[in-house]
């Protein structure tokens, strides 16, 4: 039996979204967005769930989860809460270290990392991703780029039209064989020359091996601005 652990990242600062309330805590139908995300992800039977957030928000996160009837008691028993880092990659690293240090109690063969403000991924997409990760050790969801892409110079003049045939928008979840990704992210952290990365596939590709792309719907959006929130409200 393969043991799967889902890591949900809800430690973001929401700088681009603006407003007094962080986007992960904005309520839709009286539920914060991260709860919508969690309910959706629980349609797939992950063995363990790790919620990564700012330390001062853990108590409120637990309260939201405790009062949510759609989150089963069994799932609550397998949930773990840890502190996030200053950037996304350090939040993931904290989660990986936590799981590595508790291998005896929280058995993890495969890790799936998901944005807490990406609430529209489907059960079938997660199931297909899981099957791809079992086969290839590393895979992510991504949607095809359908727009015409232009490259500009520093004056905002167009200098090139990019061939979109092989272009994808990276999404989450992103899944990996746990031991492989543990090696990769450790190498990234130890690499003093490494630049800041924005997704896990980049780390895996650079420090371990190939990552497969599994095409998903363009509806699997990350809520970054108010327009994205309107889309979620319409599609939920």
Q: How confident is the model at residue 17 (pLDDT cuts 50, 70, 90)?
A: low
pTM, two decimals, is 0.94
The mean-pLDDT minimum among 16-25, 83-92, 166-175 falls in: 16-25
How does DSSP assign the chain, residue by residue?
A: ---EEEEEE-----TTT-SSS-GGG-EETTEEHHHHHHHHHTTS--SEEEEEE-GGGHHHHHHHHHT-TTS-HHHHHTEEEEE--SSHHHHHHHHHHHHHHTTTTS--SEEEEEETT-TT--HHHHHHHHHHHHHHSEEEEEEE--S-EEEE-TTS-EEEEEP-TT-EEEEEEEEEEHHHHHHHHHHHHH-TTPPP-SSHHHHHHHHT---EEEE--TT-----SHHHHHHHHHH-
Across the range 29-56, mean pLDDT stands at 95
pLDDT value of position 10: 95
pLDDT value of position 35: 96
Question: Is pLDDT at 230 greater than 80 in this prediction?
Answer: yes
């Amino acid at each position: 039996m393969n043991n799967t652990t889902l890591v949900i990242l809800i430690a973001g600062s929401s700088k681009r979204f603006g407003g007094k309330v962080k986007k992960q805590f904005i309520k839709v139908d009286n539920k914060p967005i991260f709860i919508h995300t969690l309910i959706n992800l629980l349609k797939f039977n992950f063995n363990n769930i790790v919620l990564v957030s700012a330390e001062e928000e853990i108590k409120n996160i637990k309260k939201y989860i405790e009062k949510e009837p759609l989150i089963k008691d069994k799932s609550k028993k397998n949930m773990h809460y840890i502190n996030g880092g200053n950037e996304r990659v350090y939040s993931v690293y904290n989660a990986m270290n936590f799981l590595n240090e508790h291998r005896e109690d929280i058995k993890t063969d495969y890790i799936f990392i998901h944005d807490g403000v990406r609430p529209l991924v489907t059960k079938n997409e997660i199931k297909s991703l899981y099957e791809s990760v079992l086969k290839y050790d590393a895979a992510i969801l991504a949607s095809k780029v359908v727009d015409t892409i232009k490259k500009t110079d520093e004056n905002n003049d167009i200098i090139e039209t990019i061939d979109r045939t092989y272009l994808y928008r990276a999404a989450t979840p992103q899944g990996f064989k746990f031991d492989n990704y543990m090696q990769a992210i450790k190498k990234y952290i130890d690499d003093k020359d490494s630049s800041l990365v924005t997704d896990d596939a980049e780390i895996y590709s650079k420090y371990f091996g190939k990552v497969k792309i599994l095409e998903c719907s363009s509806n699997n959006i990350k809520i970054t601005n108010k327009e994205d929130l309107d889309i979620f409200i319409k599609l939920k």
